[in-house]
Chain A
Amino acid sequence: MNQPYRLAGGGAIDRTRPLQFTFDDRVYDAFAGDTLASALLAHGVHLMGRSFKYHRPRGPIAAGAEEPNALVQIEHGGGRTDPNTRATAVEVFQGLYAHSQNRWPSLKSDVGVINDFVSPLIPAAFYYKTFMWPRSFWDKLYEPAIRRAAGLGEAPHQPDPDRYQHRHAHCDVLVVGAGPAGLAAALAAGRAGRRVLLIDENPTLGGTLAHTSTEALADWRDRLTEELVGLPDVTILTRTTVTGYYDHNYLLALERVSDHLPPASSVRQRLWRIRAGRVVLATGAIERPLVFVGNDRPGVMLASAARTYLERFAVLVGRRPLFFTNNDSAYAVASAMKAAGAEVVAVVDVRSDPKGPLVQAARDAGIIVRTNAVVVGTEGRHRIHQAALGTLDDQGVLTGHLGTPVGCDVLLMSGGWNPNVSLHSQGRGKLRYDDGLAAFVPDGGQQQSASAGACNGVMNTARAVAEGAAAGGGAVDAPAFEEPEEESLRPVQVVPSDRSGARAKAFVDFQNDVTAKDLGIAVREGMISIEHVKRFTTTGMATDQGKTSSVNAIAIVAEQLGTPIPAVGTTTYRPPYVPLTFGAAAGHSRGRLFDVVRRTPMHGWAAEHGAVFEDVGNWKRAWYFPRSGEDMHAAVQRECKAVREGCGLMDASTLGKIDVRGKDARAFLNRVYTNAWSKLEPGRCRYGLMLRDDGFVFDDGVTACLADDHFHMTTTTGGAPRVLAWLEDLSQTEWPDLEVYFTSVTEQWATMALSGPDARDLLQPLVEEDISAAALPHLAWMEATIAGVAGRIFRISFTGERAFEINVPAGYGRHVWQALVDAGEAHGLCLYGTETMHVLRAEKGYIIVGQETDGTVTPYDLGMDWIVSTKKGDFAGKRGLLRPDLQAEGRKQLVGLATLDPDVVLDEGAQITAEAEPRIPARMLGHVTSSYMSPNCGRSIALALLAGGRERIGSHLFVPQLDGPAVEVEVVAPVFFDPKGERLNG
Chain B
Amino acid sequence: MLLIDCPHCGPRAEIEFHCGGQAHVVRPGVEVEDADWERYLFVRANPKGAHLERWVHLHGCGRWFNVVRHTVSDEIERVYPMGEAPPGGTAA
Q: Could you list which residues of chain A lie within 8 angstroms of chain B, going by C-beta atoms?
A: 246-250, 275, 428, 446, 693-694, 725, 728-729, 732-734, 736, 873-874, 878-880, 882-884
Contact in complex: B62, A693 (CB < 8 Å):
no
| Chain B contacts for A873, CB-based, 8 A | 30
CB neighbours of A446 from chain B (8 A): 73
B64 (CB) vs chain A CBs: closest residue: A732
Give the chain B neighbours of A878 by CB distance below 8 A: 30
Interface residues of B in 26-41 (CB under 8 A from A): 27-30, 32, 34, 37-38, 40-41
Per-residue A-contact encoding for B41-79, CB less than 8 Å = 1, 0 else: 100000000000010101000111000000001101000
Whether A733 contacts B82 in the complex (CB less than 8 A), given A248-B1, A275-B3, comes out as yes
**Interface status of B13 (Cβ within 8 A of chain A):** yes
| B-side interface size class | 20 to 34
Contact of B41 among A250, A428, A880, A884 (CB under 8 A): A880
- Kindly list chain A residues whose C-beta atoms are within 8 Å of the C-beta of B54: 733
Q: A694 to chain B: which residues have CB within 8 Å?
A: 41
Is B83's CB within 8 Å of the partner chain A?
Answer: yes
Contact A874 B41 (CB under 8 A): no
Contacting pair B34 A729 (CB below 8 A): no
Interface contact A729-B56, CB-CB below 8 Å: yes
Asked if B20 is at the interface (CB within 8 A of a chain A CB), the reply is yes
| CB pair A883 B1 closer than 8 Å | no
User: Which A residue sits closest to B54, measured CB to CB?
Assistant: A733
- Least CB separation from A694: chain B residue: B41
Known: A250-B1, A428-B73. A879 touches B58 (CB 8 A): no
CB<8 Å pairs between A and B, sample of 6: A250-B1, A446-B73, A693-B40, A725-B58, A733-B64, A879-B29
B6 to chain A, nearest CB (A): 14
Cα distance, A350 to B35, chains bound together (Å): 70
Given known pairs A729-B20, A879-B37, A883-B34, the reply for A734 and B1 (CB within 8 Å) is no
Query: Would you call B82 and A879 a contact (CB within 8 A)?
Result: no
Q: Are B3 and A879 in contact (CB-based, < 8 A)?
A: no
Find chain B residues with CB under 8 A from A248 CB: 1-3, 74, 76
Cβ contact within 8 Å between A246 and B30: no
Q: Closest CB of chain A to B28's CB: distance in Å? A: 8
Instruction: List 9 additional A-B contacts (Cβ < 8 Å) besides A733-B82, A879-B29.
Output: A247-B1, A247-B2, A248-B1, A446-B73, A693-B40, A725-B18, A879-B32, A880-B37, A884-B34
B82 to chain A: closest residue by CB:
A733
Given contacts A446-B73, A736-B82, contact A250 B27 (CB under 8 A): no
Give every chain B residue within 8 A of A247 (Cβ-Cβ): 1-2, 74
* Residues of chain A lying within 8 A (CB to CB) of residue B20: 729, 733
Nearest B-chain residue to A735, judged by Cβ: B27
Which 3 pairs, one residue from A and one from B, show the smallest C-beta to C-beta distance?
A: A248-B3, A879-B30, A250-B1
The answer to whether A250 touches B3, judged by C-beta atoms less than 8 angstroms apart, is: yes
Smallest distance from the beta carbon of B7 to chain A beta carbons, Å? 13
Let me know if B74 and A732 touch, CB within 8 A: no
Docked pose: A884 CA to B54 CA in angstroms: 30
CB neighbours of B37 from chain A (8 A)? 879-880, 882-883
**In the bound complex, what is the Cα–Cα distance between A874 and B27 (angstroms)?**
11
How many A-B contacts are there with CB distance less than 8 Å? 57
When each residue 78-92 of chain B gets 1 if its CB lies under 8 Å from chain A and 0 otherwise, what string results? 000011000000000
Q: How far is the CB of A737 from chain B (nearest CB, A)?
A: 10
Contacts of A879 in B (CB 8 A): 28-30, 32, 37
| Chain A positions within 8 Å of B32 at CB level | 879
Within the complex, which residue of A275, A428, A693 is in contact with B27, where a contact is CB–CB below 8 Å? A693
Known A-B contacts A693-B41, A879-B37; A874 and B29 likewise in contact (beta carbons under 8 Å): yes
Q: Which residues of B contact A882 (CB under 8 A)?
A: 30, 37
Closest to A250 in B: B1
CA distance A884 to B37 in the complex (A): 12
Evaluate contact between B30 and A874: CB separation under 8 angstroms. Answer: yes
Q: A880: shortest Cβ distance to chain B, in Å?
A: 7
Q: Which residues of B contact A250 (CB under 8 A)?
A: 1, 3, 13
> Please, how many angstroms separate the alpha-carbon atoms of A739 and B39 in the complex?
29
| Complex contact A732–B27 (CB within 8 A) | no
Taken together as a complex, chains A and B put the C-alpha atoms of A810 and B13 apart, in Å, by 33
In angstroms, Cα B25 to Cα A729, docked, is: 13
Residues from chain A with Cβ under 8 Å of B13 in the complex:
250, 275
B37 to chain A, nearest CB (A): 6
Residues from chain A with Cβ under 8 Å of B2 in the complex: 247-248
Residue on A with the closest CB to B62? A728
Enumerate chain A residues within 8 angstroms of B73, measured Cβ to Cβ.
428, 446
> Which A residues touch B74, using CB under 8 A?
247-248
Residue of B nearest to A428 (CB): B73
Residue of A nearest to B30 (CB): A879
**Chain B residues with Cβ under 8 A from A246's Cβ?**
1
Q: How far is the CB of B38 from chain A (nearest CB, A)?
A: 8
Query: Complex formed: what's the CA distance from A250 to B14 in Å?
Result: 11
Contact call B56/A728, Cβ cutoff below 8 A: yes
Q: Which residues of chain A are within 8 angstroms of B76 by Cβ–Cβ distance?
A: 248
**B56:A736 contact, CB within 8 angstroms:** no
Give A882 to B33 CA distance when docked, in angstroms: 10
A246–B74 CA distance with the chains assembled, in angstroms: 11
Q: Does the CB pair A734–B30 fall under 8 Å?
A: no
Nearest CB in chain B: distance from A526 CB, A = 29
Q: Residue on B with the closest CB to A878?
A: B30
Q: Which residue of B lies closest to A876 (CB)?
A: B27
Inter-chain CA distance A663–B46, complex, in Å, is 39
- Min CB distance A222 to B, Å, is 37
A874 contacts which chain B residues (CB < 8 A)? 29-30
In the complex, A884 Cα to B34 Cα: how many Å? Answer: 8
CB distance from A1 to the nearest CB of B (A): 51
Taking CB atoms, residues of chain A closer than 8 Å to B34 are: 883-884
* Cα separation A342 to B20 with both chains bound (whole Å): 67
- Nearest-CB residue, chain B, relative to A721: B58
Could you say which residues of chain A place their CB within 8 Å of the CB of B38?
Answer: 883
Contact of B82 among A249, A275, A732 (CB under 8 A): A732
Q: How far is the CA of A569 from the CA of B3 in the complex (A)?
A: 31
Q: Please indicate the chain B residues that have their CB under 8 angstroms from the CB of A693 in the complex.
A: 27, 40-41
- Specify which chain A residues have a CB less than 8 angstroms from the CB of B83 in the assembled complex: 736
Q: Report the separation of the CA atoms of residues A878 and B37 in the bound assembly, to the nearest whole angstrom.
A: 11
The minimal Cβ–Cβ distance linking A668 to chain B, given in whole angstroms, is: 15
Residue of A nearest to B38 (CB): A883
Alpha-carbon separation in the docked complex, A577 to B6 (Å): 32
Asked if A734 meets B41 with Cβ closer than 8 Å, knowing A247-B2, A728-B56, A883-B34, the reply is: no
Q: How long is the Cα–Cα vector from A250 to B34 in the complex, in angstroms?
A: 44
A878 to B28, CA, bound (A): 12
A13 to chain B, nearest CB (A): 40
- Chain B residues with CB under 8 Å of A734's CB are 27
Q: Output the least CB separation between B64 and chain A (Å).
A: 5
Q: How far is the CB of B85 from chain A (nearest CB, A)?
A: 14
Docked CA distance A785–B87 (Å): 57
A474 to B29, CA, bound (A): 61
Report chain A residues within 8 Å CB of B56.
725, 728-729
Q: How far is the CA of A428 from the CA of B72 in the complex (A)?
A: 10
A981 CB → nearest B CB, Å? 32
Q: How far is the CA of A270 from the CA of B68 in the complex (A)?
A: 35
Q: Among the interface residues A247, A736, A879, which one has the most CB atoms of the partner chain B within 10 A?
A: A879
Nearest residue in A to B58 (C-beta to C-beta)?
A725
What are the residues of chain A within 8 A of B30 when measuring CB–CB?
A: 873-874, 878-879, 882
- A267 CB to closest chain B CB (Å) equals 23
Would you give the shortest CB distance from A166 to chain B, in whole angstroms? 13
Q: How far is the CB of B26 from chain A (nearest CB, A)?
A: 10
Q: How far is the CB of B17 from chain A (nearest CB, A)?
A: 12
Q: Which residues of A sit under 8 angstroms from B62, Cβ to Cβ?
A: 728
Separation of A428 and B74 alpha carbons in the complex (Å): 10
- Within 8 Å CB of A725, what residues of B? 18, 56, 58
Q: How far is the CB of A572 from chain B (nearest CB, A)?
A: 14
Residue ID in chain B nearest A695 by CB atoms: B41
Kindly state the separation between the CA atoms of A451 and B92 in the bound complex, as whole angstroms. Answer: 37
- Chain B residue with Cβ nearest A879: B30
Q: With CB as the reference atom, state the residue of chain B lying closest to A742.
A: B62
| Complex: A694 Cα to B42 Cα, angstroms | 9
Contacts of B27 in A (CB 8 A): 693, 734
